[in-house]
Chains A and B, each alone.
Chain A
């Protein structure tokens, strides 16, 4: 079955620095979504990418979908303490099911 892998599992970042988290699928995806879960909270939808090579930006967050539609990345610039949480990618392969990765947990050093 479809598997979605995320790296790194943990990301410890100095406030103000940039970082990138990566997502890889074992199968070609119809779309990929990104969610953020704050400690003790629930996943909150951030964005959906559909087209091969698509790039979308949300303020300091840049999301990219690979040309083969099997991988994606999230790049955060000038990290702030509000960026703390776990970022999940979730892949969809033309059916009802979203397959979530295990997430990248981000901590920020002030």
Chain B
């Protein structure tokens, strides 16, 4: 059984650019959630995808968008990057939708300069 994987591990972008982060869910899981974790803070919910549909969204602007593919992998896209977008982006998969136990990937560290 493979766990949650994310790519890339680290990324440096310039303000105003766009970025795509990728996540492969754990085998058997059909739900993927994305979180933003600023330094010294807890993960903040961005959105959740269940069977290729956005299932819910946190307090993030529309320039944060996502996709889920038929194999349940997922992408997080962020447009018009701002300095405050610098954070660890965590993908988590779960067996089904809702607030069930989350299996987190190692994260992508995004730095915006």
Contacts and interface: CB of A to CB of B under 8 A. Distances in A.
Interface of A: 1, 4, 6, 30-31, 33, 35, 41-45, 48, 88, 90, 92-103
B42 A44 contact: no
Interface of B: 33, 35, 40-45, 48, 50, 55-56, 58-59, 90, 92, 97-99, 101-107
29 contacts: A4-B42, A6-B42, A31-B99, A35-B102, A42-B107, A43-B43, A43-B90, A43-B104, A44-B104, A45-B101, A88-B42, A88-B43, A90-B42, A90-B43, A90-B99, A92-B98, A92-B99, A95-B56, A95-B98, A95-B99, A96-B56, A96-B99, A97-B48, A97-B56, A98-B45, A100-B43, A102-B40, A102-B41, A103-B42
Contact of A100 (B44, B97, B98): B44
Given A1-B59, A96-B56, A101 B42 contact: yes
B56 A42 contact: no
B42 A102 contact: yes
A90 B44 CA distance: 10
A92 B100 CA distance: 8
Given A42-B106, A92-B99, A99 B45 contact: yes
Contact of B99 (A1, A35, A43, A98): A98
Contacts of B33: 96, 98
A79 to B, nearest CB: 22
A102 B59 CA distance: 17
A96 B96 CA distance: 10
A69 to B, nearest CB: 13
A43 B107 CA distance: 10
A90 B99 CA distance: 9
Contacts of A42: 90, 104-107
